[in-house]
């Protein structure tokens, strides 16, 4: 006992329905990419070995408390391009480096993500991070550095202290190449 059901489709109504659906989907995608999450491509070697040139990272642009922590990897809006750096100093901190050791507010800070680059710098007979400071980080600004400090333009040498509003978002994980998918926190 099969019944044949014939649906009458109005092509104009169907086209309008699909058009509305497409517009809503594009609107949602625009809002997400503009205000919440977006992919970025790493350009350069300043964050190696943590992040590599041409890797694509997923960036969280939505920060609930509008605050970043030491060690966060952030995207910084530059005049001509964006930069990927690590937050080292928070507003109010005093930053100093002596003999490849970072001091924040006079306390030695561990940077385990630098072990590979420290070893390479020592093999070359260099310091990884030239001595500097003390530098006091003003309110509403951050001090940032790349992990590959021999080859990084950052708060020490070109970018200066970073305004909070110039931080686009925080890197969450590498999404490409697929064989290198990993968390960046």
Set 17, 85, 122, 164: catalytic member: 85
Note if 17 is an active site residue.
no
Determine whether 61 is an active site residue: no
User: Which residues in the chain belong to E strands, given as ranges?
Assistant: 37-41, 56-60, 73-77, 82-89, 94-98, 101-104, 107-109, 132-136, 141-145, 162-163, 167-176, 182-183
**Cα angle, residue 86 at apex, residues 83 and 91 outer, rounded to 5°:** 105
Residue 78 contacts residue 158 (beta carbons within 8 Å):
no
Query: What is the CA angle 183-47-77, rounded to 5?
Result: 90
Contact in structure between 184 and 174 (CB atoms under 8 Å): yes
In degrees rounded to 5, what are phi and psi of residue 9? Answer: -105, 125
- Which is the catalytic residue, given 8, 33, 46, 152? 46
C-alpha distances (whole Å) from 72 to each of 15, 29, 87, 88, 184 are 47, 26, 5, 8, 9
| Residues belonging to the active site | 46, 85
């Amino acid at each position: 006992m099969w019944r044949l059901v014939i649906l009458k489709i109005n092509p104009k109504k169907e086209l309008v329905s699909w058009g509305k659906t497409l517009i809503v989907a594009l609107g949602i995608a625009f809002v997400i990419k503009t205000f919440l999450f977006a992919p970025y491509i790493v350009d350069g070697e300043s964050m190696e070995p943590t992040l590599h040139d041409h890797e694509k990272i997923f960036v969280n642009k939505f920060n609930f408390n509008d605050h970043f922590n030491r060690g966060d990897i952030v995207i910084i809006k530059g005049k001509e391009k964006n930069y990927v750096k690590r937050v080292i100093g928070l507003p109010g901190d005093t930053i100093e480096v002596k003999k490849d050791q970072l001091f924040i507010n006079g306390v030695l800070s561990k940077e385990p993500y630098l072990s590979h680059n420290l070893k390479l710098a020592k093999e070359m007979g260099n310091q990884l991070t030239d001595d500097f400071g003390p530098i006091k980080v003003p309110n509403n600004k951050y001090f940032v550095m790349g992990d590959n400090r021999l080859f990084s333009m950052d708060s020490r040498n070109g970018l200066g202290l970073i305004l909070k509003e110039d931080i686009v978002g925080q890197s969450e994980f590498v999404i490409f190449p697929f064989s290198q998918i990993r968390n960046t926190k």
